[in-house]
Amino acid sequence: MALITGASGGIGEEFARQLSRSGWETVLVGRNAARLEAVRRSLEGPGAAGSVALAADLSLPSAAEGLAAECGRRGLEVELLVNNAGCGLFGPGAGLPARDVEAMLRLNVIALTSLCAAFSARMIERGGGRILNVGSLAGDYALPYFASYAASKSYVLSYSLALRAELRRSGVGVTCVLPGYVRTGFDAAAGISSPAYLAFSEAAGMSARAVARAGLRALAADRPYSAAGIRNKAAAALGRLVPRSAVPAVAGAFLGRMAGAGKGEARSPEGNAR
């Protein structure tokens, strides 16, 4: 079975659809039980693989451990773990509520780590399995006004590469896919209202379907990590050629104007991690 977090919308829903069409039975995980069940029902049909919906808010303490335990109680053997759930915060780091930052870090970092640990242990016992972690191109940079979010996605890539090295002889593969801008509800939920920024984000963004497809291709090719899309691959390569201090200096000026024009902070919708 394939377990997909953040499966009630956006990229996670697309992962579920594409995996289901490929014959995978799926375990769909998300906060919104009604939306999650709607996705599960949409996967039904003649010849369709089975699916299970498990509502869980992975930003809560110990929620990831509870999810792994619930899968064990139900006898759900997870052969593919897709860590897609994530959220973002936009605004000055000194002004973001600590409780929101902590919830984001629990979801983006702690829950992902806990799920990788729990399910990879079972995969090792069975002699094989795969993990696909959704990071972000933002994790390649230090981004002012997205500081804690970008740092959390940097962790996802670093952790994924280290875990892959640890598991290389176990039969368990680990891949990290790095989306850039994605046409989902991320910007609106993060409190960004600048027309210029939103227009840029829309123009530069990939569809959730394309991101999920790129992630599954990287997984099938057993790549350690892969930026999603040609434009993002080029941006990632270019970013490695400039001093590490250059990107935050340039991005800070641009995003600082956005922070002033569209103040606010919010969690991103489920499945819209990037």
Residues marked as catalytic:
149
Contact 12, 5 (CB under 8 A): yes
Contact 148, 250 (CB under 8 A): no
CA distance 151 to 153: 5
Cβ neighbour number for residue 32 with a 10 Å cutoff: 15
- SS3 of residue 202 by DSSP: helix
CA distances from 177 to 30, 109, 271 (A): 20, 15, 14
Contact 137, 89 (CB under 8 A): no
Q: At what angle are helices 63-74 and 112-126 packed, to 10 degrees?
A: 30
CA distance 29 to 235: 32
- Nearest by Cα to 51 from 18, 28, 84: 28
CA distance 274 to 146: 12
| Cross-strand partners of 134 | 177
Q: What is the Cβ-side half-sphere exposure of residue 29, based on CA atoms within 13 angstroms?
A: 28
3-class DSSP string for 142-159: CCCCCHHHHHHHHHHHHH
Which two three-digit tokens encode residue 93? 């780091």
CA distance 17 to 48: 10
